[in-house]
Structure formats: C-alpha cells, structure tokens
Amino acid sequence: MALTSLNIQADDAPLRGEGRCFKGHVGLQMYSLRNYFSKDFDGTMDFVKNLGIKYIEVHNTYGKSVEEYVQIVKDLGFVPIGKHFDYNRIKDDPEGVAKEAQALGLKYAGVAWIPHNGIFNAEQATAAAEVFNNAGKVMAEYGIKFYYHNHGYEFQPWMNGQKIMDLLMQKTDPNYVSFEMDVMWTLFPGEDPAVWLAKYPNRWELMHLKDLKKGVEGNHNGGTDTKNDVVLGTGQVNFPKVLKAAQEAGVLYYFIEDESPTPKEQLPQSLDYLERVRF
C-alpha cells in the first residue's frame, strides 16, 4: 500500500527528520505554532501531521478538554511525550501535575523557567533542586518523569570554575530528575552544548533543537527577539557536533522548537536539514 499524503510512515521507514547520520525520535514542541493553533486548531494539527511529525511536546489544549485533546492526538497518530508546567504548580501541587500528565498520556512533565530576581544564584538553584527532587519522587508514583529545560541564566559562574548548571545537576537525583537541553539557550550565554552533553551523559534525556541567527550576541538573561530563531543549520549552532554528542550522551527525544514569526516556512527546512546533516 502506498504511503498517504499525510506522510504516514511504513514500519521500517525512517521518520521525518532522520537521516543517514542523525537518528532519533524527532518531534515538535507545539508551542512553535501557538499563534496558529489559537486561530485554526484543526488546520494547524493537520499541518503538523503533514510535516511527518510523530512525537510532540504538548503546549496547550487550546480550549479542548483533556479527553478531547487526547483523542485528537491519538486519531492523528501523534505520540505525546512531555509538557512544560508552571514552576509554582510543580512546587505546590506535584501530584496534581502528575495526574494531568498521566491523563494526557505523557512520559514526562517538566519546567522551563525558574522564577528569580536578578542573577540566578546558588541559593536559588539549591532551592529549585529541592523542588525538582520532591516533584520527581511524587511523579514517579504515577509513572511520570520530571525534567528541567534550561534557559541560559543557569550558566552563571558558581565556584571552582563551575557554573550554576553544575550545581543543578549535582543537587538533583538522576533517578527522579532529567534535563532537556535547549541547544540555543545553551549556546546563547557562550557555552558549547556538546561539552555539556558529554559532561553529564544520560542526564539530558530530551532536547530542543533551535538555531540562533548569525551575528547575534548572547547573554545570561534567557531572552532574545524571536526573529533570531532561524532554520536549523543556518545559524550559530554547530549541529553536526551537537547531534553527534547528543547521540553519544543518550538523548532520547529531539523536539524542534521554532519561536520565529514564520515557523510554517521554517519547520520543513529544519526537518530537511536534519535528514541531510553529516557527521
């Protein structure tokens, strides 16, 4: 039987985004299409399907009940993997988050931002690590693993040549806390994503694939103009080096996150790049 126009893959066919060198569970952070979902939910879901996407990181149910959303996702053949939740919900009601994640059919529930004032420091990181460890233990009882998505501010100096990110790694229990490396937000403050992948193998279970426009200078603030999000392979990230390191470090899921104003134009190009990248 021929493959349909929706790019449904044969069992032995590579998934969209897989190439001769790069292999992995490639998916999409649905936040990339947030502006489209709010206007045309069904049409945008069809767009994602037509991209050839299988794995998704859930952003929002956009007015659908959890039950409705889960059925739509199932009917389209998507596999929901994770979702970011508010830090205070993770802190105050980890059980409620775990139940919601379970209802959505997720494997992971995470946080993408730690509230902080001024420079993110060791005291704030230690407190966050305690929150993460507790949440991870609670979520494990529901079959959910907790993860933290870095955003750049964690790479402030700590001590003895180490960074605050080292502290987060050291203070969190690997049995209950995993990490999602955002490649761009690791590069932005001047770090080498490949070095951090090698430094903490098997801790980075998920990854956000994102590229930074050439010529843009970064900082530790965790923010930049969305127009600086460019097609994978056209910006500052050395993706051959990063993807090789990611595969060696045990990354399980790779989600493209395109925060640009033109994700519908850029996403197919980024998927094409992943299929042809060589290392």
13: confidence class by pLDDT, cuts 50, 70, 90: low
The packing angle between helices 263-276 and 41-51, to 10°, is: 20
pLDDT at residue 14, rounded to an integer: 75
The span from the CA of 138 to the CA of 132, in Å, is: 10
Q: Cβ contacts of residue 5 below 8 Å, gap of 6+?
A: 50
Q: Where are the beta strands (DSSP E) in the chain?
A: 25-29, 55-58, 79-83, 108-111, 145-149, 177-182, 204-209, 211-212, 229-230, 253-256
Burial group, residue 217, by CB count within 10 angstroms (0-12, 13-18, 19+): exposed
pLDDT at residue 15, rounded to an integer: 85
**pLDDT digits over 173-217, tens only?**
999 999 999 999 999 999 999 999 999 999 999 999 999 999 999
6: confidence class by pLDDT, cuts 50, 70, 90: very low
The predicted model scores a pTM of 0.93
**pLDDT digits over 45-87, tens only?**
999 999 999 999 999 999 999 999 999 999 999 999 999 999 9
pLDDT at 17 over 70: yes
The span from the CA of 36 to the CA of 264, in Å, is: 9
137-151 mean pLDDT: 98
pLDDT at 267 over 80: yes
Three-class secondary structure of residue 77 per DSSP: coil
The span from the CA of 37 to the CA of 54, in Å, is: 18
pLDDT at residue 102, rounded to an integer: 98
List the domains of the chain with CATH numbers.
45-259+266-276 (3.20.20.150)
pLDDT at 275 over 90: yes
145-149 and 177-182 strand pairing? parallel
Residues 279, 244 contacting (CB under 8 angstroms)? yes
- The region of weakest confidence among 2-16, 173-187, 256-270 is 2-16
pLDDT at 1 over 90: no
